[in-house]
């Protein structure tokens, strides 16, 4: 409309000078979220950069991000039309597809399926908890084996398998164990996924990089192969479910999604391909994030033995050593909850959300952003805002406790890692339950110790999630023997 056009003439988006061809690609550095925060100091919380020939708007700071994603929720709910996004979940998932009427139905189906299998009623809540506890106990056994004879080990792969098993148990009614080779091989390569779809990846903004051999091109080729293999694995399982589907018995989330998408009247605009896409989305989103969170949890426990002892004291007092922890213990373990929130804030391990795009022209903070602009949302800037957090660079779980040691919920809600608005993570509740139970069970059984020959650094690799670099721990049994019964 006229006033938007007039506005456009007056206010240009601020931002750094962009070089021809590459734009600002060479300035992003190893950790683009830190560069974005630095640029915000110079240009304000809304500014524009250029990657290749794409204009990209970067949003920083809690107030600006809230205004954009909550007050202009529909305008910022799109996803860019990136080539890499079309390789994910056979192109028919919900996560990487843009905003539309069909997408809204799709998201609702995925969201209510997760709720139905994790929290809708007591029976399902308990079944979900049992899956996690069983998986955590399996992890305990594996850690014990890997720590035998005083050995140190890298927990990375076992954590990925454990998180994958929880989401596979929900989706397929079956876990795959730590020894199933086909599944394990697939998982060894899955952590490469985030490097291509994370904000700042060059695959989609410089298509000419695909025309001659270079690391971006080979990275993209293996990204496509991993996606194809992973999607084929999921699709085959969904097809098996379809063949044995009984409308009177919903065995797991795949059956539930088959029930609402395949068997529904066609007016939803969704097809069988979307059923497979949805299941692939949930497994993909559910395994890498939770395992990365646990990776950081173990690293921070090993790095802060004083905090670890305090957590164990609380667990011994509230739960003791005669029974296994349960989700009901969560409300009585404030320091542990504070530790988990501080781990999420301090590591900000999903520093920038999956890229968004604008669904129509929009004005934010007095600045005009045209329809179909790619938008990066810098969650890290919220978690490290010095106005909000005292000494943000210090790891201090107690910052979330009041003077009586009670968790301050108004502070925990300021941590931004699951995003907000129409694209907010739909797995946040199940992720929190998983992280709580894995952490409390490991801490009840073990003391996590660092390898004295290695410096435990916080260096990490950048992608959709930040992953700690190779580190080793030893899991030292706390009691004379393992607890095995609930």
Chain contacts with ligand HEM (rule: CB under 6 A): 95, 107, 110, 167, 281-282, 285-286, 289-290, 293, 350, 353-354, 417-419, 423, 425-427, 430-431
Nearest distance, CB of residue 347 and ligand HEM, angstroms: 10
Of 338 and 431, nearer to ligand HEM (C-beta) is 431
Give the relative orientation of helices 272-303 and 334-347 as an angle to the nearest 10 degrees.
100
Nearest distance, CB of residue 108 and ligand HEM, angstroms: 11
Give me the sign of the Cα torsion angle 176, 180, 183, 185: positive
Of 61 and 286, nearer to ligand HEM (C-beta) is 286
Of 284 and 325, nearer to ligand HEM (C-beta) is 284
121 beta partners = none
Nearest distance, CB of residue 290 and ligand HEM, angstroms: 5
Name the phi and psi angles at 297, rounded to 5: -55, -50
Distance CA 251, CA 240 (A): 13
Nearest distance, CB of residue 161 and ligand HEM, angstroms: 15
Of 48 and 343, nearer to ligand HEM (C-beta) is 343
Contact (CB, 8 A) for 302 and 468: no
Distance CA 130, CA 132 (A): 5
Contact (CB, 8 A) for 377 and 419: yes
Distance CA 480, CA 486 (A): 18
Nearest distance, CB of residue 168 and ligand HEM, angstroms: 11
Give which of 408, 440, 415, 442 is closest to 350, Cα–Cα: 415
Distance CA 43, CA 14 (A): 6
DSSP β-ladder status, 446-450 and 473-477? antiparallel
Of 153 and 462, nearer to ligand HEM (C-beta) is 462
Distance CA 315, CA 240 (A): 43
Nearest distance, CB of residue 402 and ligand HEM, angstroms: 25
- Residues with Cβ within 8 Å of 368's Cβ and at least 6 positions away in sequence, in order, are 4, 7, 8, 11, 13, 361, 362
Distance CA 7, CA 314 (A): 57
CA distances 455 to 450, 459, 460, 470, 472, Å, are 9, 11, 14, 11, 10
Nearest distance, CB of residue 246 and ligand HEM, angstroms: 25
Nearest distance, CB of residue 339 and ligand HEM, angstroms: 14
Which residue's beta carbon is nearest to the bound ligand HEM?
427
Of 58 and 354, nearer to ligand HEM (C-beta) is 354
The string of DSSP codes covering 267-309 is GG---HHHHHHHHHHHHHHHHHHHHHHHHHHHHHHHH-HHHHH
Of 96 and 368, nearer to ligand HEM (C-beta) is 96
Of 140 and 285, nearer to ligand HEM (C-beta) is 285
Give which of 301, 220, 285 is closest to 468, Cα–Cα: 301
Of 319 and 342, nearer to ligand HEM (C-beta) is 342
Nearest distance, CB of residue 79 and ligand HEM, angstroms: 7
Of 396 and 429, nearer to ligand HEM (C-beta) is 429
Of 279 and 319, nearer to ligand HEM (C-beta) is 279
Nearest distance, CB of residue 112 and ligand HEM, angstroms: 12
- State the DSSP code for 469: -
Name the phi and psi angles at 6, rounded to 5: -60, -40
Nearest distance, CB of residue 45 and ligand HEM, angstroms: 17
């Amino acid at each position: 409309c006229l006033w938007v056009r007039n506005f456009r003439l007056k206010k240009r988006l601020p931002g750094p000078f962009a070089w021809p061809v590459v734009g600002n690609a060479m300035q992003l550095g190893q950790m683009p979220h830190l560069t974005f925060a630095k640029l915000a100091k110079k240009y304000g919380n809304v500014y524009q950069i250029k990657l290749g020939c794409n204009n990209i708007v970067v949003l920083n700071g809690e107030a600006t991000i809230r205004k954009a994603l909550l007050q202009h929720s529909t305008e910022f709910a799109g996803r860019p039309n990136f080539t890499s996004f079309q390789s994910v979940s056979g192109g028919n998932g919900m996560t990487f597809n843009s905003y539309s009427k069909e997408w809204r139905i799709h998201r609702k189906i995925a969201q209510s399926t997760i709720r139905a299998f994790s929290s809708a009623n007591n029976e399902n809540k308990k079944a979900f908890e049992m899956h996690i506890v069983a998986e955590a106990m399996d992890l305990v056994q594996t850690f014990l084996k890997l720590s035998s004879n005083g050995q140190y080990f890298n927990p990375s792969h076992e954590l990925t398998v454990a998180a994958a098993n929880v989401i596979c148990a929900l989706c397929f009614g079956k876990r795959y164990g730590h020894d199933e080779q086909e599944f394990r091989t697939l998982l060894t390569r899955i952590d490469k996924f985030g490097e291509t779809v994370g904000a700042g990846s060059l695959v989609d903004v410089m298509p000419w990089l695909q025309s001659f051999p270079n690391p971006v091109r080979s990275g993209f080729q293996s990204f496509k192969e991993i996606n194809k293999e992973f999607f084929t694995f999921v699709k085959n399982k969904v097809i098996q479910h379809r063949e044995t589907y009984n409308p009177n018995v919903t065995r797991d989330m795949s059956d539930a999604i088959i029930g609402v998408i395949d068997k529904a009247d066609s007016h939803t605009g969704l097809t069988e391909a979307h059923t497979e896409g949805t299941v692939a989305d949930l497994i993909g989103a559910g395994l890498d994030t939770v395992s990365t969170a646990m990776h950081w949890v173990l690293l921070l426990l090993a790095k802060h033995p004083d905090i670890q002892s305090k957590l164990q004291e609380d667990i011994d007092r509230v739960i003791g050593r005669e029974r296994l922890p349960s989700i009901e213990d969560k409300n009585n373990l404030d320091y542990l909850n504070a530790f988990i929130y501080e781990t999420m804030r301090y590591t900000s391990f999903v520093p920038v959300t999956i890229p968004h795009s604008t669904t129509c022209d929009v004005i934010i903070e007095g600045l005009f952003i045209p329809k179909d602009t790619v938008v990066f949302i810098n969650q890290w800037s919220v978690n490290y805002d010095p106005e909000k957090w005292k000494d943000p660079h210090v790891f201090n779980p107690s910052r979330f406790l009041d003077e009586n040691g009670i968790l301050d919920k108004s502070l925990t809600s300021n941590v931004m890692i699951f995003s907000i608005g129409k694209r907010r993570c739909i797995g946040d509740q199940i992720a929190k339950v998983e992280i709580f139970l894995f952490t409390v069970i490991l801490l009840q059984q073990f003391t996590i110790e660092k390898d004295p020959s290695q410096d435990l650094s916080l260096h990490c690799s950048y992608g959709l999630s930040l992953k700690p670099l190779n580190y080793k721990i030893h899991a030292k049994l706390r009691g004379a023997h393992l607890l095995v019964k609930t």
